[in-house]
Amino acid sequence: MASRIEHRATFPASVADVVAAQSDEAALRARLAEIGGPNAALESHEVDGDQVRYTLVQGVPADKLPSVAQKFVSGDLVVRREHTFSGGTGSIRAQVDGVPGQITGTVSIEEDGDGARQVTRGEVTVRIPLVGGKLEGLIAEQVTTLLEREAEFTTSWLARR
């Protein structure tokens, strides 16, 4: 059974500005430098009209992982995230190296009064007998924390523009 993720954030900017702050190459590089973890990188970034596709690689230091996760991952945790945005909607697919499973999700950014509201929904699936459910919960918790940090970065990025 998969663990669900839901995160909401509001921003004092237009939908177009929020999408740009979350998919522009310079913004992504700055975000990775600030909160990407060890060996973080923007692996690819493609723009085709109003569609943006990019792949991020992020790391979580081994000493920051919960003990149950340390049993299944040797060294730092490496997460590869593939994003696609078209207008105010997007999809996410992430894979954690060495962990059989995936994270999938959707993002919608809509007008909300004088700003924009972002809703991210997803699922974590880990296919390891007996402990998969526990790992799913831990990963979902870590992803939610990361989404909150990314929302804080986006707010800060928008304020500087």
Alpha helices by DSSP H, the chain: 15-23, 25-35, 67-70, 132-160
- What the block records as the tokens of 105 is 């999700």
Q: Please answer whether residues 81 and 94 qualify as being in contact, where contact means their C-beta atoms are separated by less than 8 angstroms.
A: yes
Cα dihedral sign, 13-52-57-2: positive
Specify the pTM. 0.89
Mapped onto helix, strand or coil, the DSSP state of residue 7 is strand
The model's confidence at residue 96, banded by pLDDT at 50, 70 and 90, is: confident
Q: Please answer whether residues 110 and 141 qualify as being in contact, where contact means their C-beta atoms are separated by less than 8 angstroms.
A: no
- Residue pLDDT, tens place only, 67-92: 766 666 677 778 899 999 998 999 99
Domains of the chain plus CATH, in order, are 3-160 (3.30.530.20)
